[in-house]
Protein backbone atom coordinates (compact mmCIF):
# COMPACT_ATOMS: atom_id res chain seq x y z
CA UNK A 1 0.00 0.00 0.00
CA UNK A 2 1.40 3.38 -1.02
CA UNK A 3 0.94 6.47 1.11
CA UNK A 4 1.43 8.67 -1.96
CA UNK A 5 -1.55 9.13 -4.28
CA UNK A 6 -0.21 9.78 -7.82
CA UNK A 7 -3.50 11.45 -8.82
CA UNK A 8 -3.25 13.87 -5.92
CA UNK A 9 0.37 14.62 -6.80
CA UNK A 10 -0.47 15.30 -10.45
CA UNK A 11 -3.41 17.51 -9.43
CA UNK A 12 -1.17 19.98 -7.60
CA UNK A 13 2.23 19.56 -9.30
CA UNK A 14 1.83 22.30 -11.92
CA UNK A 15 0.42 24.66 -9.29
CA UNK A 16 3.28 24.02 -6.88
CA UNK A 17 5.87 24.60 -9.59
CA UNK A 18 4.29 27.84 -10.73
CA UNK A 19 5.52 31.25 -9.62
CA UNK A 20 3.52 34.45 -9.47
CA UNK A 21 5.55 37.61 -10.02
CA UNK A 22 4.35 40.40 -7.74
CA UNK A 23 5.25 44.04 -8.55
CA UNK A 24 7.39 44.07 -5.39
CA UNK A 25 9.58 41.35 -6.94
CA UNK A 26 10.78 43.82 -9.56
CA UNK A 27 11.96 46.22 -6.82
CA UNK A 28 13.75 43.41 -5.01
CA UNK A 29 15.43 42.23 -8.22
CA UNK A 30 16.57 45.76 -9.05
CA UNK A 31 18.12 46.22 -5.60
CA UNK A 32 19.72 42.75 -5.79
CA UNK A 33 21.23 43.43 -9.21
CA UNK A 34 22.51 46.83 -8.05
CA UNK A 35 24.38 45.12 -5.19
CA UNK A 36 25.89 42.54 -7.52
CA UNK A 37 26.91 45.16 -10.07
CA UNK A 38 28.51 47.28 -7.35
CA UNK A 39 30.42 44.25 -6.04
CA UNK A 40 31.63 43.22 -9.50
CA UNK A 41 32.87 46.71 -10.43
CA UNK A 42 34.72 47.20 -7.15
CA UNK A 43 36.25 43.70 -7.32
CA UNK A 44 37.38 44.43 -10.89
CA UNK A 45 39.21 47.55 -9.76
CA UNK A 46 40.90 45.63 -6.95
CA UNK A 47 42.11 46.77 -3.57
CA UNK A 48 40.06 47.12 -0.41
CA UNK A 49 36.36 47.91 -0.78
CA UNK A 50 33.10 47.61 1.11
CA UNK A 51 30.30 45.45 -0.24
CA UNK A 52 26.67 46.47 -0.20
CA UNK A 53 23.66 44.36 0.71
CA UNK A 54 19.93 44.05 1.22
CA UNK A 55 17.56 44.36 4.16
CA UNK A 56 14.27 42.59 3.35
CA UNK A 57 11.45 42.94 5.89
CA UNK A 58 7.79 42.03 6.20
CA UNK A 59 5.37 40.18 8.43
CA UNK A 60 5.47 36.38 8.47
CA UNK A 61 4.12 34.59 5.37
CA UNK A 62 4.02 37.61 3.07
CA UNK A 63 6.46 35.98 0.64
CA UNK A 64 9.72 37.81 1.40
CA UNK A 65 11.77 34.63 1.88
CA UNK A 66 10.45 32.82 -1.19
CA UNK A 67 11.11 35.85 -3.42
CA UNK A 68 14.62 36.40 -2.03
CA UNK A 69 15.55 32.70 -2.15
CA UNK A 70 14.34 32.58 -5.74
CA UNK A 71 16.72 35.40 -6.69
CA UNK A 72 19.64 33.83 -4.84
CA UNK A 73 19.03 30.43 -6.46
CA UNK A 74 18.77 32.07 -9.87
CA UNK A 75 22.09 33.86 -9.35
CA UNK A 76 23.83 30.70 -8.11
CA UNK A 77 22.49 28.69 -11.06
CA UNK A 78 23.79 31.34 -13.49
CA UNK A 79 27.40 30.45 -12.58
CA UNK A 80 28.31 34.11 -13.07
CA UNK A 81 32.09 34.45 -13.34
CA UNK A 82 33.48 37.09 -10.99
CA UNK A 83 36.66 39.09 -11.73
CA UNK A 84 38.81 36.45 -9.98
CA UNK A 85 37.55 33.82 -12.44
CA UNK A 86 35.45 31.90 -9.93
CA UNK A 87 31.69 31.53 -10.20
CA UNK A 88 30.06 33.76 -7.61
CA UNK A 89 27.74 32.18 -5.04
CA UNK A 90 25.51 33.38 -2.22
CA UNK A 91 24.88 31.06 0.74
CA UNK A 92 21.49 30.80 2.47
CA UNK A 93 21.33 30.36 6.23
CA UNK A 94 18.09 30.35 8.25
CA UNK A 95 18.20 31.37 11.91
CA UNK A 96 15.79 30.03 14.50
CA UNK A 97 15.73 31.08 18.11
CA UNK A 98 18.27 33.14 20.00
CA UNK A 99 21.76 32.74 18.54
CA UNK A 100 25.20 33.95 19.61
CA UNK A 101 27.91 35.21 17.24
CA UNK A 102 29.81 31.98 17.84
CA UNK A 103 26.73 29.90 17.01
CA UNK A 104 26.15 31.98 13.90
CA UNK A 105 29.71 31.27 12.78
CA UNK A 106 29.15 27.54 13.28
CA UNK A 107 25.82 27.67 11.44
CA UNK A 108 27.37 29.62 8.56
CA UNK A 109 30.12 27.01 8.20
CA UNK A 110 27.47 24.28 8.01
CA UNK A 111 25.67 26.26 5.30
CA UNK A 112 28.99 26.40 3.46
CA UNK A 113 29.08 22.60 3.59
CA UNK A 114 32.05 22.59 5.93
CA UNK A 115 31.51 20.57 9.14
CA UNK A 116 33.37 21.94 12.13
CA UNK A 117 33.88 20.80 15.71
CA UNK A 118 31.45 22.85 17.85
CA UNK A 119 34.16 23.09 20.51
CA UNK A 120 36.18 25.48 18.37
CA UNK A 121 36.39 29.10 19.49
CA UNK A 122 34.34 31.94 18.07
CA UNK A 123 37.42 33.39 16.36
CA UNK A 124 38.29 30.04 14.80
CA UNK A 125 34.76 29.67 13.41
CA UNK A 126 34.78 33.05 11.72
CA UNK A 127 38.32 32.67 10.38
CA UNK A 128 37.13 29.42 8.78
CA UNK A 129 34.03 31.15 7.39
CA UNK A 130 36.18 33.80 5.70
CA UNK A 131 38.59 31.17 4.36
CA UNK A 132 35.82 28.92 3.01
CA UNK A 133 34.00 31.84 1.38
CA UNK A 134 37.18 32.86 -0.41
CA UNK A 135 37.99 29.27 -1.45
CA UNK A 136 34.45 28.54 -2.69
CA UNK A 137 33.89 31.88 -4.42
CA UNK A 138 31.09 32.83 -2.03
CA UNK A 139 30.51 36.57 -2.35
CA UNK A 140 27.46 36.87 -0.12
CA UNK A 141 25.68 35.50 2.95
CA UNK A 142 21.90 35.48 3.24
CA UNK A 143 20.63 35.31 6.84
CA UNK A 144 16.89 34.63 6.94
CA UNK A 145 14.81 35.32 10.10
CA UNK A 146 17.73 37.49 11.16
CA UNK A 147 15.76 39.19 13.94
CA UNK A 148 16.67 36.15 16.06
CA UNK A 149 20.27 37.38 16.20
CA UNK A 150 19.13 40.60 17.93
CA UNK A 151 17.99 39.49 21.35
CA UNK A 152 20.42 40.60 24.02
CA UNK A 153 19.96 44.34 24.46
CA UNK A 154 21.39 47.53 22.90
CA UNK A 155 25.07 46.89 23.65
CA UNK A 156 25.05 43.35 22.24
CA UNK A 157 23.04 44.45 19.23
CA UNK A 158 25.50 47.26 18.55
CA UNK A 159 28.35 44.76 18.67
CA UNK A 160 26.48 42.43 16.29
CA UNK A 161 25.97 45.23 13.78
CA UNK A 162 29.67 46.13 14.00
CA UNK A 163 30.52 42.51 13.19
CA UNK A 164 28.15 42.42 10.23
CA UNK A 165 29.71 45.67 9.01
CA UNK A 166 33.19 44.16 9.38
CA UNK A 167 32.18 41.25 7.11
CA UNK A 168 31.10 43.74 4.44
CA UNK A 169 34.41 45.60 4.77
CA UNK A 170 36.66 42.53 5.17
CA UNK A 171 40.01 43.56 3.54
CA UNK A 172 40.77 40.17 1.97
CA UNK A 173 37.25 39.11 0.95
CA UNK A 174 34.33 41.53 1.45
CA UNK A 175 30.92 39.86 1.63
CA UNK A 176 27.51 41.04 0.48
CA UNK A 177 24.94 40.59 3.24
CA UNK A 178 21.25 39.89 2.80
CA UNK A 179 19.31 40.13 6.05
CA UNK A 180 15.62 39.29 6.07
CA UNK A 181 13.06 39.12 8.84
CA UNK A 182 10.01 40.66 10.47
CA UNK A 183 9.71 44.49 10.62
CA UNK A 184 11.51 44.84 13.97
CA UNK A 185 14.70 43.84 12.15
CA UNK A 186 14.69 47.20 10.37
CA UNK A 187 14.61 49.00 13.75
CA UNK A 188 17.70 47.11 14.86
CA UNK A 189 19.62 47.75 11.64
CA UNK A 190 18.65 51.42 11.42
CA UNK A 191 20.08 52.02 14.89
CA UNK A 192 23.55 51.89 13.29
CA UNK A 193 23.82 54.50 10.55
CA UNK A 194 26.85 53.08 8.74
CA UNK A 195 25.46 49.61 8.13
CA UNK A 196 21.99 50.99 7.39
CA UNK A 197 23.65 53.02 4.62
CA UNK A 198 25.15 49.83 3.14
CA UNK A 199 21.86 47.89 3.05
CA UNK A 200 19.07 48.71 0.57
CA UNK A 201 15.77 48.25 2.39
CA UNK A 202 12.89 46.45 0.64
CA UNK A 203 9.67 46.01 2.63
CA UNK A 204 6.95 43.49 1.78
CA UNK A 205 3.48 44.70 2.78
CA UNK A 206 0.52 42.58 3.84
CA UNK A 207 -2.70 42.64 1.84
CA UNK A 208 -4.47 45.88 2.68
CA UNK A 209 -8.02 45.97 1.35
CA UNK A 210 -10.53 48.73 2.03
CA UNK A 211 -8.29 51.74 1.43
CA UNK A 212 -10.45 52.81 -1.53
CA UNK A 213 -14.20 53.45 -1.51
CA UNK A 214 -14.33 51.92 -4.99
CA UNK A 215 -12.97 48.33 -4.74
CA UNK A 216 -12.23 48.28 -8.47
CA UNK A 217 -9.56 50.94 -7.85
CA UNK A 218 -8.00 49.21 -4.85
CA UNK A 219 -4.51 48.05 -5.99
CA UNK A 220 -4.44 45.10 -3.56
CA UNK A 221 -7.94 44.03 -4.62
CA UNK A 222 -6.80 44.14 -8.25
CA UNK A 223 -3.62 42.20 -7.43
CA UNK A 224 -5.55 39.58 -5.44
CA UNK A 225 -7.99 39.13 -8.31
CA UNK A 226 -5.11 38.78 -10.78
CA UNK A 227 -3.39 36.25 -8.51
CA UNK A 228 -6.48 34.02 -8.39
CA UNK A 229 -7.03 34.09 -12.14
CA UNK A 230 -3.34 33.32 -12.79
CA UNK A 231 -3.44 30.16 -10.67
CA UNK A 232 -6.89 29.20 -11.99
CA UNK A 233 -5.58 29.43 -15.55
CA UNK A 234 -2.66 27.15 -14.68
CA UNK A 235 -5.08 24.64 -13.21
CA UNK A 236 -7.57 25.07 -16.08
CA UNK A 237 -10.32 25.80 -13.54
CA UNK A 238 -13.13 28.30 -14.07
CA UNK A 239 -13.47 30.87 -11.24
CA UNK A 240 -15.68 33.38 -13.07
CA UNK A 241 -18.82 32.72 -11.00
CA UNK A 242 -16.88 32.55 -7.73
CA UNK A 243 -14.70 35.63 -7.68
CA UNK A 244 -16.29 38.89 -6.64
CA UNK A 245 -15.50 41.60 -4.08
CA UNK A 246 -17.11 39.64 -1.24
CA UNK A 247 -15.16 36.46 -2.02
CA UNK A 248 -11.90 38.41 -2.19
CA UNK A 249 -12.65 39.98 1.20
CA UNK A 250 -13.34 36.53 2.71
CA UNK A 251 -10.16 35.12 1.16
CA UNK A 252 -8.12 38.00 2.59
CA UNK A 253 -9.65 37.52 6.07
CA UNK A 254 -9.23 33.72 6.01
CA UNK A 255 -5.53 34.07 5.15
CA UNK A 256 -4.79 36.81 7.71
CA UNK A 257 -3.94 39.24 4.88
CA UNK A 258 -0.82 37.23 4.03
CA UNK A 259 0.00 36.82 0.35
CA UNK A 260 1.90 33.60 0.98
CA UNK A 261 -1.05 32.00 2.76
CA UNK A 262 -3.38 32.99 -0.08
CA UNK A 263 -1.14 31.21 -2.57
CA UNK A 264 -1.00 28.09 -0.37
CA UNK A 265 -4.80 28.01 -0.13
CA UNK A 266 -5.20 28.56 -3.88
CA UNK A 267 -2.92 25.60 -4.56
CA UNK A 268 -4.90 23.36 -2.19
CA UNK A 269 -8.34 24.46 -3.45
CA UNK A 270 -7.57 24.34 -7.16
CA UNK A 271 -5.71 21.07 -6.65
CA UNK A 272 -8.85 19.64 -5.05
CA UNK A 273 -10.89 20.75 -8.06
CA UNK A 274 -8.55 18.88 -10.37
CA UNK A 275 -8.45 15.81 -8.14
CA UNK A 276 -12.25 15.66 -7.99
CA UNK A 277 -12.61 16.27 -11.73
CA UNK A 278 -14.38 19.59 -11.25
CA UNK A 279 -13.84 22.29 -13.86
CA UNK A 280 -15.39 25.07 -11.76
CA UNK A 281 -14.23 26.31 -8.35
CA UNK A 282 -16.86 26.76 -5.64
CA UNK A 283 -17.14 28.16 -2.12
CA UNK A 284 -17.53 24.56 -0.89
CA UNK A 285 -14.20 23.56 -2.45
CA UNK A 286 -12.43 26.50 -0.81
CA UNK A 287 -14.00 25.64 2.55
CA UNK A 288 -12.87 22.04 2.17
CA UNK A 289 -9.34 23.15 1.30
CA UNK A 290 -9.33 25.61 4.20
CA UNK A 291 -10.44 22.86 6.59
CA UNK A 292 -7.29 20.88 5.81
CA UNK A 293 -5.16 23.45 7.64
CA UNK A 294 -7.61 25.11 10.03
CA UNK A 295 -8.38 24.57 13.69
CA UNK A 296 -11.66 26.51 13.44
CA UNK A 297 -14.98 24.68 13.97
CA UNK A 298 -16.65 23.91 10.64
CA UNK A 299 -19.41 26.46 11.07
CA UNK A 300 -16.90 29.27 11.50
CA UNK A 301 -15.02 29.00 8.21
CA UNK A 302 -14.78 32.55 6.79
CA UNK A 303 -15.94 31.34 3.36
CA UNK A 304 -19.34 30.16 4.60
CA UNK A 305 -20.04 31.83 7.97
CA UNK A 306 -22.64 34.61 7.31
CA UNK A 307 -21.29 37.19 9.75
CA UNK A 308 -17.73 35.91 9.79
CA UNK A 309 -16.15 39.20 10.92
CA UNK A 310 -18.40 39.33 13.99
CA UNK A 311 -18.17 35.60 14.73
CA UNK A 312 -14.40 35.21 14.35
CA UNK A 313 -11.74 37.13 16.25
CA UNK A 314 -9.34 38.32 13.54
CA UNK A 315 -6.32 38.46 15.88
CA UNK A 316 -6.87 34.91 17.16
CA UNK A 317 -7.43 33.68 13.61
CA UNK A 318 -4.12 35.23 12.61
CA UNK A 319 -2.32 33.47 15.46
CA UNK A 320 -3.89 30.17 14.45
CA UNK A 321 -3.02 30.34 10.75
CA UNK A 322 0.52 31.57 11.40
CA UNK A 323 1.16 28.82 13.97
CA UNK A 324 0.26 26.04 11.53
Residues 34 and 175 in one domain: yes
The whole-number average pLDDT for the span 168-191 is: 96
171 shares its domain with 62: yes
Structural domain contains residue 8 = no
**Which carries the bigger pLDDT value, residue 10 or residue 38?**
38
One-character DSSP codes across 200-247 = EEEEEPPP---SSSSGGG-HHHHHHHHHHHHHHHHHT-B-TTT-SHHH
The percent of residues in the chain predicted with pLDDT above 90, rounded, is 74
**Residue finishing a domain among 150, 184, 204:** 204
Are 56 and 158 part of one and the same domain? yes
Q: Does 286 reside within a domain? A: yes
Q: Are residues 90 and 149 in the same domain?
A: yes
Q: Which long-range contacts (CB under 8 A, 24 or more apart) does 64-69 make?
A: 64/180, 64/204, 65/144, 65/180, 66/260, 67/22, 67/24, 67/25, 67/28, 67/204, 68/28, 68/142, 68/144, 68/178, 68/180, 69/142, 69/144
pLDDT band at 322; cut points 50, 70, 90: low
Confidence of residue 323 (pLDDT cuts 50, 70, 90): low
**186 shares a domain with 249:** no
Of 119 and 163, more confident: 163
129 and 213 in a single domain? The answer is no
- In a domain, residue 274? The reply is yes
Asked whether residue 15 is domain-assigned, the answer is: no
CA nearest neighbour of 157 among 146, 167, 168: 146
User: What pLDDT shows up at residue 14?
Assistant: 78
pTM here is 0.91
Q: Are residues 164 and 276 in the same domain?
A: no
Range of the domain at 165: 23-204
The whole-number average pLDDT for the span 231-253 is: 95
The CATH number covering residue 78 comes to 3.40.50.300
Q: How confident is the model at residue 216 (pLDDT cuts 50, 70, 90)?
A: confident
Based on the fold, state whether residues 66 and 113 are members of the same structural domain.
yes
Does residue 190 sit in the same domain as residue 278? no
The reported pLDDT for the residue numbered 198 is 97
Shared domain check, 257 and 173: no
Last residue of a domain, one of 142, 170, 204: 204
**Do 114 and 244 belong together in one domain?**
no
60-98 residue pLDDT tens: 999 999 999 999 999 999 999 999 999 999 999 999 888
* pLDDT for 151 beyond 80: no
Give the count of domains, the chain.
Answer: 2
Tell me whether residue 255 is in a domain.
yes
Residue 167 lies in a domain: yes
Average the pLDDT over 36-61 and give the result: 95
Q: Is residue 12 part of a domain?
A: no
User: Do 220 and 200 belong together in one domain?
Assistant: no
**Which one of 157, 173, 204 terminates a domain?**
204
- Is 161 domain-assigned? yes
**Can you list the alpha helix ranges (DSSP code H) found in 115-169?**
122-136, 154-168
Amino acid sequence: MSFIDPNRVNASLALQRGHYTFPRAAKLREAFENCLHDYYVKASIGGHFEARGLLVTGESRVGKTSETVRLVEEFNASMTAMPNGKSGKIIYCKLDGSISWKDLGHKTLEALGYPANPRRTQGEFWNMVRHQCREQGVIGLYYDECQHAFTSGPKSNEKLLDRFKALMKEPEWPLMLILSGVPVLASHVNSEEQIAHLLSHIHFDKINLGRFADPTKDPDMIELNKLIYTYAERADIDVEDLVDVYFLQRLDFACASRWGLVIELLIRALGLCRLQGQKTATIEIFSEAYAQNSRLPQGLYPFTAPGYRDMIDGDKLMEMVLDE
